[in-house]
Amino acid sequence: MRGFSFRSVAIALMLTAALFLSGCRALTTDSATAEPQLVFVSPSDPATFNAPLNQSAFNVFGFINEGMVSQNGVTGELEPALAESWEFSEDKLKIIFTLRPDLLWSDGEPLTADDVVFSYNDVYLNPDVPTGIKDILRVGDGFPTVRKLDRRRVEFTVPEPFAPFLRYAGGIAILPKHALYEATQTKNASGELEYLSTWGTDTEPQEIVGAGLYRMTRYVPSQRVLFERNPYYWRQDPDTGEAQPLIPRLVIEIIESDETQSIAFRSGQLDSLSVQPEAFSLLKREEDRGKYTIYNGGPALESRFFGLNLSQATNEQGEPFVDPITSAWFRNTQFRQAIAHSINREKMKNNIYRGLGEVQHSPIGVQNPYYRSPKEGLKTYDYDPQKAREMFQAAGFKYKNEDLLTDAEGNPVKFRMLTKSEEKVRVDMAVQIQQDLKAVGIQADLQVLNFNTVIQKLRSRDWEAYVGGFGGGGVEPHNSFNIWYSGGSLHQFNQGPLPGEEGIENWQVSDWEKEIDRLFIEGSQTLEDEKRKEIYGEFQQIVAEQVPFLYLVNAYTLEAVRDRIDNIKFSALGGAFWNLHELDIAEAD
């Protein structure tokens, strides 16, 4: 997922102060104000201005929101943000956060413990609010309790030990009670909370209240979002006392195509660009002339995968989301393993990624300390179309004229394959997968649609196969809980009923999905790091055996940044702009 995105859709609001941004351009001055500004680029419009309801990687929340703690983009360590300190109880079941004194919202109203309690009890943990954040806050079969101790102190309590406790309790964006409380207490004629229709993208941007570095001033759909420095933001330079952020203005330009973004960068309009493999050689040659540096953080924490819809569920009319014949193929483990042997990921790495990446075998990235490698026993799938054919036949499938795979009843094996249009690399991967599958007798009809339409299809379960991606949620494995937990809001390959969704019947959870549920709960309750590594190693092994997602290529984190942007501290975890508050633009020579 490119553009101004968090590295994880699964935890899109986690650690909002750590901006995992890419593809930005900067203009040194604005003609009207003569103020420096950065202009970031996104391939898609924001889907909402209501942070807890967001499901898109392309959003504004890293700019306008903040949590009680933030994440250092180089080390991954947690650092104070809205909270100046925190303290654990001896049994590790309670944590008390102490907010900084005299915090203010972007409209100048006081930010206190009441806002923290409201954010959790009235929004994130509200059963009537369908937010994926609820998934990652789950502790065993329950949730944290949150209570105010005084104006600046808030106590969180969990029913049992929870390893990601501090990261989660502190990292989620705090919301303004004075602006949103009434909407969480009022229902419309349909019985839904008014909150669910509050702060959509049709809301005047000046009405959106946050605690982040910037506040919105204007939104022009399909064109741009404008921001100004939040005059009430708490940060100051520790040495000079100067108010941060240093750069007074931001713009997000909406430019859909990777190619168009690359052309704009080379023409001098952009000061930063997420470098796509096909553009790397040209951009590298022009590095000195263009006065920019291409940073390489190694394998990215994000992933690209090929997945199949394993759902057996039916809709309100009793109709299956996936044709029962197709569903039976997909739910056959040997079929999925044969698919894995059919796809030439080495070719994908060398041709599409120009060698700028590594074949990925696990949902946990190679830079993560919890990664289980093939040398440690992780099951892998080499490209072997002959073996794939043999496995299809062993699973009861047959070949007609050697080039058409059918099931035992003679039904040709064919299905729809969905991917988003905005990312050329992903489209190229889908085209190669289509060709690779054709070579083993499978017809995959490609659907290339815009990102927001893809999201709608995934949520409505209107898909069969998908070439998709997830961002990297940092080093904590539990960050992907709402992907792998069977009831999670991003459990795409077998999506259960979502909050407030009615009429979904016949949803069935397999034994291996239940085992992953158990491992994630055990992993969250285990505080010893070595034991956690064993637990998440078992999880990776199950995923490798069952192949609900076949991971494709883990690209290198490449970003071109103009040299006039000062204080860049680049990493795969944080990108170029995780420390946006302390970045500055050097004056032209």
The model's pLDDT over 159-209, given as tens digits with 9 standing for 90+, comes to 988 988 888 888 899 999 999 999 999 999 988 999 999 999 999 999 999
Q: For the chain, how many structural domains are there in total?
A: 3
Percent of the chain with pLDDT over 70: 94
- 371-382 pLDDT, tens per residue? 999 999 999 999
Average pLDDT of the segment spanning 520-545: 94
Which of residues 393 and 92 earns the better pLDDT score? 393
With respect to residue 6, please indicate whether it lies within any of the assigned structural domains: no
- Regarding whether 533 and 490 lie in a shared domain, the answer is yes
The two structure tokens encoding residue 490: 């991003």
- At 402 the pLDDT is 82
Average pLDDT of the segment spanning 272-280: 88
- 320-335 pLDDT, tens per residue? 999 999 999 999 999 9
Which of residues 533 and 574 earns the better pLDDT score? 533
With respect to residue 18, please indicate whether it lies within any of the assigned structural domains: no
The arrangement of strands across the sheet holding 414-420 comes to: 443-449, 414-420, 465-470, 303-308, 549-551
What CATH number did the domain enclosing 144 receive?
3.90.76.10
* Inter-helix orientation angle 529-546/511-525, to 10°: 160
- Regarding whether 359 and 280 lie in a shared domain, the answer is no
Look up the pTM and report it.
0.75
The two structure tokens encoding residue 43: 């391939």
- Regarding whether 532 and 385 lie in a shared domain, the answer is yes
- At 34 the pLDDT is 65
Burial of 242 (0-12, 13-18, 19+ CB in 10 A): exposed
- Regarding whether 430 and 526 lie in a shared domain, the answer is yes
- 18-50 pLDDT, tens per residue? 333 433 434 444 444 568 888 888 889 999 999
- Regarding whether 464 and 409 lie in a shared domain, the answer is yes
- At 21 the pLDDT is 40
What CATH number did the domain enclosing 402 receive?
3.10.105.10
- Regarding whether 375 and 307 lie in a shared domain, the answer is yes
Burial of 316 (0-12, 13-18, 19+ CB in 10 A): exposed
With respect to residue 9, please indicate whether it lies within any of the assigned structural domains: no
Domain final position from 147, 181, 215: 181
- Regarding whether 233 and 97 lie in a shared domain, the answer is no
pLDDT for 264 beyond 90: no
- At 498 the pLDDT is 86
With respect to residue 420, please indicate whether it lies within any of the assigned structural domains: yes
- Regarding whether 197 and 164 lie in a shared domain, the answer is no
Domain membership of residue 36 as a residue range = 24-66+187-299+557-585
- At 20 the pLDDT is 33
Q: Which range has the top average pLDDT, 126-135, 399-408, 427-436?
A: 427-436
pLDDT for 157 beyond 80: yes
DSSP state for residue 349 in the 8-state scheme = I
- Regarding whether 283 and 415 lie in a shared domain, the answer is no
- 200-252 pLDDT, tens per residue? 999 999 999 999 999 999 999 999 999 999 999 999 998 899 999 999 999 99
With respect to residue 474, please indicate whether it lies within any of the assigned structural domains: yes
Collapse the DSSP code of 506 into the 3-class scheme (helix H, G, I; strand E, B; otherwise coil) and give the result. coil
Domain final position from 149, 181, 213: 181
Rounded alpha-carbon distances, angstroms, from residue 245 to 3, 65, 69, 82, 580: 21, 14, 17, 15, 7
Kindly tell me the sign of the dihedral angle through the C-alpha atoms of 437, 442, 443, 444.
negative
- Regarding whether 572 and 491 lie in a shared domain, the answer is no
pLDDT for 153 beyond 90: yes
DSSP state for residue 548 in the 8-state scheme = S
Domain final position from 136, 155, 181: 181
Closest CA to 116 of 106, 135, 103: 103
Which of residues 531 and 17 earns the better pLDDT score? 531
